């Protein structure tokens, strides 16, 4: 997670879609409608970013829960998010020290508290650093994985499975706390976030919160 701006959502977010579609929706109060349903307060007046009412307990609870989902010293989710980030067409950006597991004391406050000093030598998370190095190398050498047109292969919100193809490459993300399998007639497993991910025959098996990149013939 590069940044978390907890004052707006996407116009396509289910909470906003419901609020805009139904004046009796519980989430209508989450947003500042000026002329319901088409005119509303938006972040920097960008219609795709409706501002939320953070004075409401329900909104605060949702935003805190969303942040907690990606936090908590779980490098599995960090690697999964990075795998997705490095296969997007936009340039990937990292906060200083993320690649070695650097943390912070507080989310706000003085600069020296917002990010701890760089870790060196044995203090670094070498496994995480190696993963980021492989991601960078892959992005530089295999441009198809992020530059080719993207085709959705599988979207399963209930089970957190997301798969898309770019050229000769398939990116599969398992954003769920249960293992999953996907039919994948690929020739080679290029990169995974978890050593437990396997490609056997035409089946890709992924542990919880794991991702993989496969190459087709």
Sorted by sequence, the CB contacts under 8 Å of residue 46 that are 6+ apart come out as: none
Whether 140 contacts 121, CB under 8 Å: no
Structure tokens at 155: 């979207």
| pLDDT recorded at residue 96 | 81
Note the pLDDT of residue 146.
93
pLDDT digits 0-9 by tens, 123-174: 888 889 999 999 999 999 999 999 999 999 999 988 899 999 999 999 999 9
What does each C-alpha distance from 70 to 2, 42, 136, 204 come to in angstroms? 11, 25, 22, 24
Domain ranges of the chain: 14-70, 75-145, 149-215
pLDDT value at residue 120: 86
- Pairing relation of β-strands 188-192 and 180-183? unpaired
Confidence bin at 210 (pLDDT 50/70/90) = very high
Provide the pLDDT for residue 74. Answer: 78
Q: What is the CA radius of gyration of the chain?
A: 20
Residue 89 pLDDT greater than 60, yes or no: yes
Cα 172 to the chain's mean position, in Å? 13
Taking a C-beta distance cutoff of 8 angstroms, is the pair 177, 208 a contact? yes
- C-alpha–C-alpha distance, residues 123 and 74, integer Å: 17
Which has more pLDDT, 65 or 32? Answer: 32
Half-sphere exposure of 161 (CA within 13 A, CB side): 15
CATH architecture of 149-215: Sandwich (2.60)
Euclidean distance between CA atoms 183 and 199, whole angstroms: 10
Q: What is the pLDDT of residue 181?
A: 92
Tell me which residue has tokens 């190459």. Answer: 215
Beta-strand pair 169-174/180-183: unpaired
Strand partners, 171: 164, 213
């Amino acid at each position: 997670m590069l940044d978390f701006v907890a004052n707006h959502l996407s116009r396509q977010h289910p909470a906003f879609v419901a609020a805009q579609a139904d004046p009796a929706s519980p989430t209508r109060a989450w947003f500042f409608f000026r002329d319901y349903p088409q005119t509303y307060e938006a972040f920097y007046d960008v219609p795709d970013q409706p501002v939320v009412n953070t004075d409401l307990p329900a909104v605060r609870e949702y935003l805190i829960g969303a942040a907690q989902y990606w936090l908590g010293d779980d490098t599995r989710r960090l690697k999964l998010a990075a795998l997705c980030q490095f296969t997007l067409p936009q340039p990937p950006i990292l906060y200083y020290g993320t690649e070695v597991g650097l943390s912070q004391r507080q989310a706000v406050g003085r600069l020296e508290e917002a990010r701890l000093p760089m870790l060196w030598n044995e203090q670094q998370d070498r496994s995480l650093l190696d993963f980021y190095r492989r991601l960078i190398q892959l992005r530089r050498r295999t441009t198809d994985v992020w530059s080719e047109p993207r085709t959705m292969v599988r979207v399963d919100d209930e089970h957190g499975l997301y798969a898309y193809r770019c050229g000769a490459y398939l990116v599969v993300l398992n954003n769920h706390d249960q293992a999953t399998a996907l039919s994948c007639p690929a020739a080679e497993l290029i990169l995974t976030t978890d050593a437990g991910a396997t490609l056997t025959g035409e089946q890709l098996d992924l542990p919880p919160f794991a991702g993989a990149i496969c190459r087709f013939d």
